[in-house]
Amino acid sequence: MSLNEWLAIGMIGAFFVMLLIGIPVAISIATTAFVFGFIGFGPMLFNLLPSRIYGVVTNYTFMAIPLFVFMGVMLEKSKLAAELIDVVGHLFGNVSGGMGVAIIFVGVLLGAATGIVGATIVTLGLLTLPTLLRRGYPKALASGMICASGTLGQIIPPSLVLILLAEILGESVGTMFAAAMMPGLTLAAVYIIAILALAAWKPHLMPPIPAEERAQMGKAQLLRKVILVVGPPVGLVIAVLGSIIGGIAAPTEAAAMGALGALVFVASSGRLSLNLLTEVAKATLIISSMVFFILISAQVFGLSFRGLGGEHLVARLFEWVPGGEIGALLFMLLLMFVLGFFLEWIEISYIALPLFLPFFVQLGVDMVWLGILVGLVLQTSFLTPPFGWSLFFLKGVAPKGVTTLDIYLGVLPFIALQFLAIAMVLLFPGIATWLPNAIGW
């Protein structure tokens, strides 16, 4: 290997070392790229950097990121989830495992409406975990359901993961949203079928809501709450996604419509206040700034890695992998799964994926299918012990009797179910490609 290729390997190693000692991600990415790129080429390598950074900050599609974040934070901070859980819980509460089904269903709704994993898990943990334990659900099972439900927002559109993957893969956001619909709903269906199967086998593990408690909310009142509580967020999500997938509006325009819709919905419910608006604006600024800081730093990293010959290094690495195209794909997905133990999805998306992408482009792999497989694997990074963020979020709000081991054991079956969903998309690409092809994307 040449000296520059050794420098490319050293750059990746130094990046991981800086992360392990606690240096923020964006600073680690930029620092290692500048240092190793300068050693290999001097300042000449970075002449292209201003134009690449300009391309990020002026990218019209990326304007959707703060707008979708605003929509999600507004719905989250308005306490929408609390009412959703109460209403949906009563809808499914008369069957064994009904509360588990309700939690997954709420995860789908909140994932589509907010896409904020931490907020969803904290809300579900605070509102449902004590209730599930009181009704006799095992601690591990209840914890696993909440963590699995909370991560659905990473694959169900509109998702920041899908927006960034669309940019990296060179596909439209509408195509990625359309492609993710069926896999996301398939994963939720796999969770629900598994919960109902376990409830049928061992009903004592997941008892239904007692009849007296269900009777407190009459059918007329339940129907009214379904219309007033479940209807608006579902309608908002359908309007936003439908306008993007149907080609009526660009992602940025639809995101603006979603942000305005969330504002109107919260205002009509009487919860809008100056304090709430300030909190939402501040949270939106922090989250959006973090995303863009990492995106800009990733431009430095990509420029240095390519300049040092990293692409040729990766191509030779894949030559050693047996099994041809499928073998190479499985190797990349496995590597991303392992990286998910230590890194967040945004670093994996913008650092790891671009390293491997040229190899798969050369093979002629369908980028939409590849992107959905990557999205599903990235979702597991939130669930995998010992560093899955979902586990930390739930542990922070769990009652005293729920241990870290309970949470770790609880997510293992759902990780297995997630691998089942990944295998289904891998073996049957039409799950991901059918909808984009059907609507002509």
Give the tens place of pLDDT for each residue, 306-318. 777 776 666 666 6
Q: Within a domain: residue 2?
A: no
Write the CB contacts of 124 (distance below 8 Å, at least 6 apart in sequence): 81, 85, 103, 106, 107, 146, 149, 150
Of residues 414 and 90, more confidently modeled:
414
Q: Within a domain: residue 36?
A: no
Q: Within a domain: residue 38?
A: no
Q: Within a domain: residue 13?
A: no
Asked which of 32-41, 93-102, 119-128, 427-436 is least confident by mean pLDDT, the reply is 119-128
Q: Within a domain: residue 28?
A: no
Question: pLDDT tens digit string along 152-208?
Answer: 888 888 777 888 888 888 888 888 989 999 999 999 999 999 999 998 898 888 887
Give how many domains the chain has, as a whole number. Answer: 1
241, 157 contact by CB (below 8 A): yes
Q: Within a domain: residue 24?
A: no
CA distances from 136 to 82, 94, 127, 408 (A): 21, 15, 16, 19
- What mean pLDDT is predicted for residues 104-124? 74
CA nearest 262: which of 252, 272, 274? 272
134, 182 contact by CB (below 8 A): no
| Dist. CA 128–CA 99, nearest whole Å | 9
| Dist. CA 150–CA 106, nearest whole Å | 9
10, 42 contact by CB (below 8 A): no
Q: Is the peptide bond before 158 cis (omega within 30 degrees of 0)?
A: yes
| Dist. CA 188–CA 108, nearest whole Å | 7
In angstroms, the first-to-last Cα distance of the chain is: 43
| Long-range pairs, 10-16, Cβ under 8 A, ≥24 | 10/36, 11/35, 11/36, 11/37, 11/301, 11/304, 11/305, 11/308, 12/305, 15/301, 15/351, 16/342
H, E, C per residue of 147-181: HHHHHHHHCCCCCHHHHHHHHHHCCCHHHHHHHHH
| Dist. CA 371–CA 160, nearest whole Å | 13
| Dist. CA 91–CA 398, nearest whole Å | 25
Q: Within a domain: residue 15?
A: no
Task: Tell me which residue range forms the domain holding 234.
Answer: 47-438
Q: Within a domain: residue 78?
A: yes
In 10 A of CB 263, how many CB atoms? 18
Q: Which range scores top for mean pLDDT: 135-144, 263-272, 395-404? A: 135-144
pTM for the full model? 0.80
